[in-house]
Structure 1
Amino acid sequence: MTAGTDLGGLRRINELAVLGAIRGGAETLTEVVRRTGLARASVGEVTRDLVASGWISEVAPVVRGRGRPAVRYMYPAAAGVLVGVDVGAFNLRVVAGDLNGRVLGWERRATTPELPAGRRIELIAVAIAECLRAVGQGAPWGIVAGSTGRVDDRKVVLSAAIPDWTGIELRDQLRERFPGSVVGIGNDSRLAALAEQRLGPGRPESLVLLQAGRRTGLGLVLNSRPHTGFGGTAGDLSRFPALKWEAAIEYLAMSGVAPSGGPTADPVADTLNAAIEGSPEALAAVRRYIRMLANTAGAVVSILDPEVLVLGGSLAAYGELLLPLLASELELLVLRMPRLEASGLGADSAALGALCAAVELVDAALLGDGSGPLPAHRRPTVST
């Protein structure tokens, strides 16, 4: 390594440290010095260069008492917009956020598994455009779409929930419709797990997300990062029919406790509500459902020993009913109980996880991987 390259790498490290501190809430030079541990002179030089390149901006100082007020800095999160998408069999969710991932607005659409792939793609594009229009934003800097099924970094490899979705080149389809945007795709359960780790309480280093809804799924987080495994299939238990958890929802949907024309017209919700109200038949159906989920969750928890097990998906809203039953079953199966939580993000978790991933994707595109100084802060046109 040459001396020039070494100094360039050190400069990049310092720039990223300062930028990270300011994005994390440090506003003044003194606060940045305290958070980074860098010399004040170095921080002063780096902040001047970051202001010049547009990565941070100076804010009018707040006058407090006597003396010269300290200059404050902020990351221009409003300079661009990011989009997170959750493509499900029955629902499409789109969320727009600023460059820090702060939510600006939502667009939600009902779909069906039978919707042809071409029309589904067009619906996604229209929903993104409508969401951006509603929040007063133009073309997005970055888009990350989560989809049900097995997904690699380019396409949907296999989808059981949506018949003609297998093989769809989702990343390229979105790139074609939103040229100039950085685009990524991922599995919905993994993105939901990312959202739980980033936005949930405590930011645990290890987490298992148990997606409970019309379909079941697992999302794994290890060392504060989504765990995908060597070939990208970690957490995919679709080829283990003996676990019987994919069909577990039928215990609620086909319980016979709630008629098809029940209060909500949804037999699953009606069965759960009946259980809350004390129906012995409904409670028995819920226990059978939870027992099937616990068999799978217990195996995963025993292997990974996570800090937290999160009940996610649309049924997270029934956490007060379901979590005690899940805890009773898991205590019979695992040596150490993780902390059990019901997701506060619910059915929106995958879209929010996609927005979190979009923040990281655009950061990586803008910051690059070179050893020189940061480029001018601008809308990315790179392909990722």
Structure 2
Amino acid sequence: MIGPRSVVPAGDLTRLRQINERAVLAAIRVGGELRLAELVSLTGLTRASLTEVIRGLRDKGWVVEQDAMTAGRGRPAHRYRFHAEAGHVVGLDIGAYAVKAAVGDLAGTVLGEARRQTRPADSRAKRLDSTVDAVGDCLRAAELPANAVWMTTAGTTGRIDRNGRILLSAAIPGWAGLDLAGRLAELLGGPVLVENDVRLTTLAEQRLGMARGVRDLVVLQAGRRVGLGLVLDGAVRHGHRGAAADVSSFSALSCDHAVDFLDLCPAVPATGGTGDRIQDVLTAAAEGQPAAVNAVGRYVRAVSQVAAAAVSLIDPEMLLITGTLAPYADLVRPILLDELHLRCITVPRVEVSTLGPDAVHQGAVQYALDHLADLLLGDPDSALPALTRPQ
């Protein structure tokens, strides 16, 4: 139970109203549709105080009153819910081989998704055009106009500064040096945030996936690229300058060579090749072809070095495998566990992502919502503003 009144001086009615507003809004955002009696129980406020607070939240646009329902005898029970459809955010995953987009409401519910195919050799302009097209596609899927979007977050590969400029990108030639946040703001309109794709994957996994609620977590992205994401004390770790868990320049832990074990393997699955060498070798390994199984083993043992280093430093509750290798957990997990037991004093639980290829843009939606909450909910010592599109 929330008891805001007990900590407020009796004469400070303005401060009391601000605290009560936030207590009621927090309950409704988490609890969904709630009746007045349920809000009394959750907040500790009287019915009279709640009625006044809800009236103010409704006038400001934060709360919507649902049609009253009659349950047995007595007056119909009024229900209240968070006004999630008042605004929307877009999450992007801009990769070497595809651009994916999702639009979600203020509660994080994804309403529309889209994908546009790209190639590593595509020019900046072509990749940006594909991004704009993907955003348009997902908005049409959700039947939303462009001006319904309050904020966009783009996840992409590489090292990114705090202003959204790409400092380094090995996977996308010509991507380095681009002011991605500024360029997308021009093309899409509205504020744009840019974050590393592995960090957004980590955020999605910790909020929505197998690692939900895990407070100390290492995310190992394994595929064409190897990346790490860290959650410490419940928060995704960025680092002082945004370079936490980036070991790309550390030769002792660099795994750039590991993909060669898969790329150079001649195995082709019995079901037929797709033209994607990595995928074909993984499929052949799942079918039991010895050369492919050996190639996957060599890859995982190489990648395990960076995983073991992170586990030894952090002592996490969980190590989560994401990326291209995640669907092949039956092959990957036993080898990785053996390597961790050889290298680490303690070995965490090893799990596999269930979010799959949607993790980056789902994490981008969550990231945008976090920043919107900071912007709209603002100073806890101030009253809630009217829920309107941020300027």
TM-score, structure 2 length as denominator? Answer: 0.90
> What is the SS of the residue equivalent to 1:241?
coil
For 1:304 and 1:14, the matched residues in 2 are separated by 39
1:183 aligns with 2:192: yes
1:199 aligns with 2:199: no
Q: Which residue of 352, 362, 366 corresponds with 2:376?
A: 366
For 2:49 and 2:92, the matched residues in 1 are separated by 40
Q: CA deviation at 1:273?
A: 2.0
Q: CA deviation at 1:310?
A: 0.9
The residue aligned with 2:112 is 105
Going from structure 1 to structure 2, the CA distance change for 1:35 and 1:335 (only over 3 Å counts) comes to: farther
Q: Do 1:220 and 1:226's aligned partners in 2 also have CA atoms closer than 8 Å? A: yes
Query: Mean Cα displacement is larger for which, 18-27 or 191-200?
Result: 18-27
The residue aligned with 2:78 is 71
Structure 2 gaps, min length 5: 1-8
> What is the SS of the residue equivalent to 2:77?
coil
What pairs with 1:192-341 in structure 2 (closer than 5 Å)?
192-201=201-210, 202-258=212-268, 262-341=272-351
Q: CA deviation at 1:44?
A: 3.3
Going from structure 1 to structure 2, the CA distance change for 1:247 and 1:62 (only over 3 Å counts) comes to: farther
Structure 1 gaps, min length 5: none
Q: Percent identity?
A: 46
Query: Mean Cα displacement is larger for which, 3-12 or 23-32?
Result: 3-12
> What is the SS of the residue equivalent to 2:240?
coil
The residue aligned with 1:170 is 180
For 2:281 and 2:326, the matched residues in 1 are separated by 15
Q: CA deviation at 1:370?
A: 6.6
> What is the SS of the residue equivalent to 1:332?
helix
> What is the SS of the residue equivalent to 1:106?
strand
> What is the SS of the residue equivalent to 1:164?
coil
Q: Do 1:88 and 1:147's aligned partners in 2 also have CA atoms closer than 8 Å? A: yes
The residue aligned with 1:146 is 155
The residue aligned with 1:129 is 136
Q: Which residue of 30, 39, 45 corresponds with 2:37?
A: 30
1:21 aligns with 2:30: no
The C-alpha deviation readout for 1:17-67, integer Å capped at 9, x for no partner, is 221211112512233333344555443332221011110011112222222
For 1:8 and 1:274, the matched residues in 2 are separated by 67
State the one-letter code of the partner of 1:102: T
Q: CA deviation at 1:10?
A: 5.0
For 2:279 and 2:172, the matched residues in 1 are separated by 23
Going from structure 1 to structure 2, the CA distance change for 1:231 and 1:288 (only over 3 Å counts) comes to: same
The residue aligned with 1:352 is 362
The residue aligned with 1:377 is 387
Query: Mean Cα displacement is larger for which, 278-287 or 190-199?
Result: 278-287
Q: Do 2:217 and 2:316's aligned partners in 1 also have CA atoms closer than 8 Å? A: yes
For 1:214 and 1:129, the matched residues in 2 are separated by 29
Going from structure 1 to structure 2, the CA distance change for 1:374 and 1:326 (only over 3 Å counts) comes to: same
For 1:299 and 1:8, the matched residues in 2 are separated by 52
Q: Do 1:81 and 1:137's aligned partners in 2 also have CA atoms closer than 8 Å? A: no
Query: Mean Cα displacement is larger for which, 269-278 or 280-289?
Result: 269-278
Q: How many residues align?
A: 378
Q: CA deviation at 1:164?
A: 1.5
The residue aligned with 2:61 is 54
Query: Mean Cα displacement is larger for which, 34-43 or 196-205?
Result: 34-43
Kindly indicate whether structure 1 or structure 2 has the higher relative contact order, using CA contacts under 8 Å at least 6 residues apart.
1
For 1:324 and 1:51, the matched residues in 2 are separated by 54
Q: Do 1:87 and 1:148's aligned partners in 2 also have CA atoms closer than 8 Å? A: yes
> What is the SS of the residue equivalent to 2:68?
coil
Q: CA deviation at 1:330?
A: 1.2
Q: CA deviation at 1:9?
A: 5.0
Q: Do 1:243 and 1:292's aligned partners in 2 also have CA atoms closer than 8 Å? A: no
> What is the SS of the residue equivalent to 1:161?
coil
